[in-house]
Amino acid sequence: MASNSRVVLDALLLEYKSEFAGFTSLVDVAGGTGTAISKIVEANPHISGINFDLPLVVATAPKYPGVVNVGGDMFSSIPSADGVFMK
């Protein structure tokens, strides 16, 4: 999924440059190791990213500037943010 995220995010960020302008925080639900949210935050440094997935998944996620890894269950609750991203 991580390699797929790179390709999809490159295309998404190229086409939708201004769509992220209004966000100050964004949560990637089921974000895995954080590849997608890290690319979004890298392209939009004004956004604070939350990589949200199961605790055992985010335990192996690398640290990215501007991104916090949060473990939990999306069927119980999702961290609060200006927007939710799901790929």
Average pLDDT over residues 31-55: 95
> Which domain does 67 fall in, by range?
1-85
Type of residue numbered 77: S
The secondary element (H helix, E strand) that includes residue 70 is: strand 67-71
- Predicted structure pTM score: 0.90
Q: Domain holding 69: CATH number?
A: 3.40.50.150
Which residues neighbour 19 within 8 Å (Cβ) at sequence distance 6 or greater? none
Work out the end-to-end distance of the chain between its first and last CA atoms, rounded to an integer number of angstroms: 10
The proportion of the chain whose per-residue pLDDT surpasses 70, expressed as a percent, equals 94
pLDDT band at 9 (very low <50, low <70, confident <90, very high): confident
Higher pLDDT, 2 or 81: 81
Average pLDDT over residues 41-67: 97
Q: How far apart are CA 19 and CA 59, in angstroms?
A: 30
pLDDT band at 3 (very low <50, low <70, confident <90, very high): low
Give the per-residue pLDDT at 49: 98
What is the domain count for the chain? 1
